[in-house]
Amino acid sequence: MENIITIDEQMIPFKTGQTIMDAAMEAGVYIPHLCHNPEFEPHGSCRVCVVKVNGRMMSSCTTKATAGQKIENNTPELQENRRCLTQMLFVEGNHVCPGCEKSGNCQLQAVAYYTEMLSPRFQHFYPYRELDPTHPDVIIDFNRCILCELCVRASRDIDQKNIFAMSGRGIKAHLIINSPTGKLGDTDLNVNDKAVQVCPVGAIIKRKQGYMNPIGERFYDQAPIDEMGDIAEPHAGAKHHD
């Protein structure tokens, strides 16, 4: 059988070994996602990319494409699930988009727009989280971390520094920093490290950039995320992990 899957009735070719997400990205079909970045091993944790494969819910970033799969992607049911997941992410942290310098360049915000999130729906947790401002060039705002582990993967696999890690389980899971003090200032993080570039939200920010990017010229000012793709995309045109 030919290497073809259908996503919402559209025939999509794939290469053996590719995931559904890889095939979709290559064909320019947008499947919403937050923890996925084609340059890294799939993680499958945010669940935003869940699609229905032959009637079963599967995360598209971890499911291999196999010939003949019938995949539902842009359906009211799946969009509702994604909206719900996005809402949970918003209430779990402290996301004050109007004051956030990542606004307009943020994938979480862009997915919220894409899934038509109009309200937080759930009660806010309002967790108390302090910033880590100890590094001279980078600040971490844990209020905005969505636990995608992209910085963990980038620091471990590309920067070879292992600066970030996860700690705790379930609702207590949180990002930690591998240093004697637990502070970023005591690591050898460099502002040009991959880990700093991959954050899809405003959790890892470079100092002194702030709002230099004016409204109208921000990434998602140009078009919605289903047209623009990921802001944290590693290099232009990357459509699958190597």
Partner 1 sequence: MSALETAVSKDGLKRVVIEPVTRVEGHGKVTLLVDEQHQIQQARLHIVEFRGFEKFIQGRPYWEIPVLVQRLCGICPVSHHLAAAKAVDQIVGVKQLTATSNNLRRLMHFGQTLQSHAVHFFHLASPDLLFGFNDDVSHRHILSVIAEHPEIGMQGIQLRKYGQEVIKAIAGKRVHGNAAVPGGMNKALSKEDHAFLLKDIDQIIAWSQGAVDLIKKVHLNNRQFHYDFARIETNMLSMIREDGALELYHGGLRARKPNGETIFDHLDYCNYFNVIHEEVRPWSYMKFPFIVSEGTEKGWYRVGPLARVNNCDFISTPKAEQERQIFKELEQGKPVQSSLAYHWARMIEALHSAESIKELLLDERTMGNDLVTTGEKQFEGIGVIEAPRGTLFHHYQIDDNDLITKANLIVSTTNNNQAMNESIRQVANQYLSGRELTEGLLNHIEVAIRAYDPCLSCATHALGKMPLLVEIVDEQGEQLDSLYKNSQGDISRA
Q: Say whether residue 179 binds partner 1 (CB under 8 A).
A: no
Nearest CB to partner 1, comparing residues 41 and 137: 137
DSSP secondary structure letter of residue 7? E
User: How many residues of this chain interact with partner 1, rule: CB under 8 A?
Assistant: 19
According to the binding rule CB under 8 A, does residue 213 interact with partner 1?
yes
How far is residue 65 from each of residues 60, 148, 213, measured CA to CA in Å?
9, 23, 39
Rounded to an integer, what distance in angstroms lies between the CA atom of residue 83 and that of residue 75? 12
Beta pairing, strands 4-7 & 70-72: parallel
**Number of CB atoms found within 10 A of residue 66's CB:** 14
Nearest residue (CB) to partner 1, 122 versus 211: 211
Pick the stretch among 115-123, 125-133, 172-180, 192-200 that binds partner 1 (CB under 8 A): 125-133
Return the residues of window 46-75 that contact partner 1 according to CB under 8 A.
none
- Which residue, among 85, 156, 157, has the nearest Cα to 121 in the 3D structure? 85
Q: Work out whether 87 is an interface residue with ligand SF4 (CB under 6 A).
A: no
**Angle at alpha carbon of residue 143, lines to 139 and 147, rounded to 5°:** 95
When asked if residue 155 is in the footprint of ligand SF4 (CB under 6 A), the reply is no
The helix-helix angle for 107-114 and 76-92 (nearest 10°) equals: 140
The stretch among 6-14, 57-65, 80-88, 215-223 that binds partner 1 (CB under 8 A) is 215-223
Task: Select the residue interacting with ligand SF4 from 46, 49, 100, 138 (CB under 6 A).
Answer: 100
User: Is there a contact between 166 and 149 (Cβ–Cβ < 8 Å)?
Assistant: yes
9 binds, among ligand SF4, partner 1, none (CB under 5 to 8 A by kind): none
Instruction: Let me know: does 102 contact 80? Beta carbons within 8 Å.
Output: no
User: Is residue 139 part of the contact set for partner 1 (CB under 8 A)?
Assistant: yes
95 forms part of the interface with ligand SF4 (CB under 6 A): yes
Residues within the interface to partner 1 (CB under 8 A): 96, 98-99, 101, 130-131, 133-134, 139, 207-208, 210-217
